[in-house]
Structure 1
Amino acid sequence: MKQRPVLTDYLKKHWLLVGIFVCIFLASIYPSLGSKEGPLKPEYTCKYGAVSTIFFISGLTLKADSIYYTLRQHRLHLFIQTFTFIFIPIFTQILVVLLNTFRIDKWILKGLITVACMPPPVSSAVILTKASQGNETAAIFNSVLGSFLGIVITPLLLLLNLGYTTVVPLFGIMFQLSSTVLLPLCLGQCVRRYTEFRGHNLPLNTISQCALLFVIYTTFCDTFSMPEGGLTASDILVTMFLVLLIQMLLLTISFVCAKSFKFFSPGDVVCTMFCSTHKSLTLGIPILRIMFHGLSHLSEITLPLLVYHPTQMILGGLLVASMKEWIYSHKGKRPPV
């Protein structure tokens, strides 16, 4: 009888993490349901439904003064973008040089370098920051800024690091970002400013996290639906280990470095940790398919990005509760269960 309240409290506290693993399990059973062009049509319901919902709720809940304050946090933005586009590619190049001594497939190592050049996503880092009670406004700003910068910077980084480059579909990406992020965000701000609706009677945070779970579910459906393309079990296991190692190192480095700056609040540190280490699958897969179209090693190059995207969500889910407690410990309060 004593174990039931403990289990209930744990499930309430870590329900997002539990939901992530449930999504992975369901996706593994019937991946075609939520894969691209499947019955759930995630190319529309996820991109224009779940993601737009996340940013509409963010726009509805963001206060104008927090937006103005965030725009003036130049050092925070500079740190995140520098870590994303400069530190991670250099760090990965050095790591790849060390890994070459272990005779790992060179195309998988090229895939790791490709991942390092990618911009941040626009949904997962925002929701994980919000769920951890971090600086949500800064997370939104830097995710959007990083995605736009990636249109120009990512091809240049690929050229410098791999000798390959590609023409990024500028109009298509700008339309996607505008329609799924900026428009819902502005719409939420307009509703907040010109109406009395604030969603007080609605569990907005829970709705946002459920939308993220749908994004995670469809991501894993795509992952499980991908053909192996000649990959061996050892290739997949080595890639999973390397991606997990890289992400844990980057999360630790980002957290420790950001925490060392006294002008960053705990909420800024959490925002920095998620925003500076996450990489976009949405922009990454089209770039890889354009760059390496017809190449027999496309599956090996793509594998690290396919593993990186869901791994960052799992690790993020594991960190949410501890990051929330860490932020509240600095406020002298206990986080709500």
Structure 2
Amino acid sequence: MKRRITIKEFLHKQVLLVGILACIFAAAVHPEFGSRQGPLYTEYSVKYGAVSLIFFISGLSLKTELIEHTFHHYKLHLFIQSFTFILIPTFSHLFVRFLHFFGINSWVLKGLVTVACMPPPVSSAVILTRSANGNETAAIFNSVLGSFLGIIITPLLLFLGLGYTTLIPLFGTIIQLTTTVLIPLTLGQVLRKITGLKRLHPALNTLSQCALLFVLYTTFCDTFKTPEPHIEALDVLAAVFSVVLMQMILMGLSYSLAQYYNSDFSSQDIIAIMFCSTHKSLTLGIPILRIMFHGYAHLSQVSLPLLVYHPTQIILGGMMVSQLKDWVHLDRSGNRPPV
């Protein structure tokens, strides 16, 4: 007879999901505290504090030989970038045509197309991959690579999808990725070699999780605080339904396609694929939307899918972490059942 899991065991196993839900609750109660205009100075404490700390700890934990191996895994990188910049934009056009028959606001649908053109974020996909014991090195490499490619590809996709586009600040994006990702990661690797570190102390893993939750908390604060007037309840419901359905289909599709090539990808690779290829950047997306649709009365409806997409991808990812960790454990023991 199978033993029933106690509440304490469940909470310990789902600690990331519980933390995410706590962040959402705290942000909803008092969003001003963790917003950009709040007392935490999130434009510095998050970008140059928490995010840099996360990648510094990643640098400490990653084996150098594993990094070199991952760099040469070109099939994995090609799969993720093709899924991000080719398959998702193509799927979004078909998906939007399907939703059009249900009478959903056309500006909300334009927002879905815009979301599909965005590059991946450099934090959430990486941290969820790490939490699920996936290929963290591949997640970091492809998140950074996708952000660089997005500088060129995203404007082209927006032009093809909507007929107009905007430029992404090249210099600013490179500086941000270098200071918040590449430099902390390199410093972590250097310190790992100097100290001869073999295994990361559990306290550092806990610190990394806390930094992640701080990033998520401030993100949710900004989401709740963002003033979006002229939005009808029906538009909100349509956006939530469309985004959740879209993400579930994309995650299922990325998993199924990766499983088809299971001789090339391990279970850890597939976890990185599921998160990196389907996640979209809110940090870059919102400024692009503000520039593209500045002065439009429908800016709020266009922005709505991206505002919904970002927290949804984190919540769905958090719900899957525990199951994916068990999957990796079974795969290492020689038994690889489907998720």
Q: Does 1:292 align with 2:271?
A: no
Q: CA deviation at 1:271?
A: 0.6
Shift of 1:330: 1.2
Q: How far off is 1:211 after superposition?
A: 1.2
Matches of 1:204 and 1:81, distance apart in 2: 31
Name the counterpart of 1:86. Answer: 86
How many Å separate the matches in 2 of 1:69 and 1:37?
Answer: 43
C-alpha distance in structure 1 between counterparts of 2:105 and 2:156, whole Å: 24
Structure 2 letter corresponding to 1:263? D
Task: Name the SS of the counterpart of 2:6 in structure 1.
Answer: helix
Change (3 A) 1:273 1:201: closer
The Cα of 1:126 is off from its aligned counterpart by 0.6
TM-score with structure 1 setting the length: 0.95
- In the alignment, does 2:289 pair up with 1:266? no
Flag structure 2 segments of 5+ consecutive residues without an equivalent. none
Corresponding residue number in structure 1 for 2:98: 98
**Partners of 1:60 and 1:198 within 8 A in 2:** no
1:198 and 1:188 map into 2 onto residues whose CA distance is 13
Task: Call closer, same or farther: CA 1:171–1:101 in 2, change over 3 Å.
Answer: same
C-alpha distance in 2, partners of 1:266/1:15? 22
2:200 & 2:96 partners in 1: Cα distance?
A: 50
Computed over aligned residues only, the root mean square deviation of the Cα atoms, in angstroms, reads: 1.6
Quote the Cα distance in structure 2 between the aligned partners of 1:276 and 1:21. Answer: 24
**Cα distance between partner residues in 1 of 2:305 and 2:124:** 18
Pair 1:38 & 2:38 matched: yes
Distance in 2 between the 1:302 and 1:217 partners? 20
Partner of 2:320: 319
User: Distance in 1 between the 2:325 and 2:260 partners?
Assistant: 19
- Point out the more displaced range, 286-295 or 311-320: 286-295
Q: Aligned ranges for residues 222-237 of structure 1 at < 5 Å?
A: 222-237=222-237
- Which residue matches 2:251? 251
Alignment of 1:13-24 (within 5 A): 13-24=13-24
1:201 positional shift: 3.9
User: TM-score when scaled to structure 2?
Assistant: 0.95
Spell out, residue by residue over 1:267-322, the C-alpha distance to the aligned partner (whole angstroms, 9 max, x if none).
00111000000000011111111111111111111110010001000000000001
Residues 50 and 214, structure 2, Cα contact 8 Å, conserved in 1:
yes
Kindly indicate whether residue 167 of structure 2 is the aligned counterpart of residue 167 of structure 1. yes
1:39-118 superposed matches below 5 A:
39-118=39-118
Distance in 2 between residues matched to 1:49 and 1:106, nearest whole Å: 39
Structure 1 residues 66 and 199: CA distance shift in structure 2, 3 A: closer
SS of alignment partner, residue 102 of structure 1: coil
Secondary structure in 1 matching 2:101: helix
Deviates more, 1:206-215 or 1:260-269: 206-215
- The answer as to 2:304 corresponding to 1:303 is yes
Q: Deviations over 1:38-95 (max 9, x none)?
A: 1111111111111111100011111111011001100000000000000000000001
Conserved? CA contact 1:56–1:188, under 8 Å = yes
Q: Is the 8 A contact 1:131 1:205 kept in 2?
A: no
Write the distance in 2 (CA, Å) between the matches of 1:104 and 1:202. Answer: 48
Q: Partners of 2:35 and 2:98 in 1: how far apart?
A: 36
1:48–1:180 Cα contact (<8 Å) kept: yes
Cα pair 2:115 2:285 within 8 Å, conserved: yes
What's 2:139 paired with? Answer: 139
Identical columns (%)? 60
Q: Distance in 1 between matches of 2:25 and 2:227?
A: 19
Q: Secondary structure at the match of 2:118?
A: coil
Residue identity in the other structure for 1:126: V
Distance in 2, matches of 1:232 and 1:171, equals 38
AA at the equivalent of 1:310: P
Q: Distance in 1 between matches of 2:325 and 2:196?
A: 30
Alignment of 1:326-337 (within 5 A): 326-332=327-333
1:77-133 per-residue CA deviation (whole Å, 9 max, x = no partner) reads 000000000000000000111111111110000000000000000011111111111
Contact kept, 8 Å, 2:61 with 2:200, in 1: the verdict is no
Secondary structure of 1:227's counterpart equals coil
Q: Matches of 1:42 and 1:333 in 2, distance apart?
A: 44
In the alignment, which residue of structure 1 is the partner of 2:203? Answer: 203
CA distance in 2, matches of 1:11, 1:190: 36
Q: Distance in 1 between matches of 2:85 and 2:197?
A: 39
Contact in 1 for aligned 2:139/2:276 (Cα 8 Å): yes
